[in-house]
Amino acid sequence: MDRLTQLLSFVAESPQDPFLRYALTMEYLKVEDMEKAGQGFRDLVENFSDYVGTYYHYGKFLEKQDKKEEALNIYQQGMLVAREMRNMHALGELQNAYNLALGFEDDDY
């Protein structure tokens, strides 16, 4: 059984598990199924908004799709969630991604 099939089976068994949905989305990204990856990210943000790991990868996904403004919005949403969850590591990563998307380098700020 390949990884995608296995993840689909796990999600069918535990549809409310955000980690499994995240893993499935990342697998779609890995196999370059951009439509299903995008759907997965949107689903995670809408239905599992406190799963902070989503926001960094969704923002990067959007940047690669030349959707910079959407990516910036996702990074901002993620920063709010990270603050609420008191996840300072994720907050720092999201802040850096946001600044890079704006064109700032590490030594610019």
Q: Kindly tell me if the per-residue pLDDT of 104 is higher than 90.
A: no
Residue 103 falls in which region: left (phi positive, over 0), alpha (psi -120 to 50) or beta: left
The answer to whether residues 2 and 39 belong to one domain is yes
Q: Kindly tell me if the per-residue pLDDT of 106 is higher than 90.
A: no
Say how many domains are in the chain.
2
Task: Look at residue 1 in the predicted model and tell me its pLDDT.
Answer: 66
15-53 pLDDT, tens per residue?
Answer: 999 999 999 999 999 999 999 999 999 999 999 999 999
Residue among 96, 55, 99 at smallest CA distance from 77: 55
The answer to whether residues 40 and 59 belong to one domain is no
Domain hosting 78: range is 50-109
Read off the pLDDT of each residue in 86-107 and give the average, rounded to a whole number.
91
Final residue in a domain of this structure, among 15, 31, 48? 48
The answer to whether residues 7 and 28 belong to one domain is yes
The answer to whether residues 17 and 59 belong to one domain is no
Read off the pLDDT of each residue in 78-87 and give the average, rounded to a whole number.
97
Task: Look at residue 108 in the predicted model and tell me its pLDDT.
Answer: 52
Read off the pLDDT of each residue in 69-86 and give the average, rounded to a whole number.
98
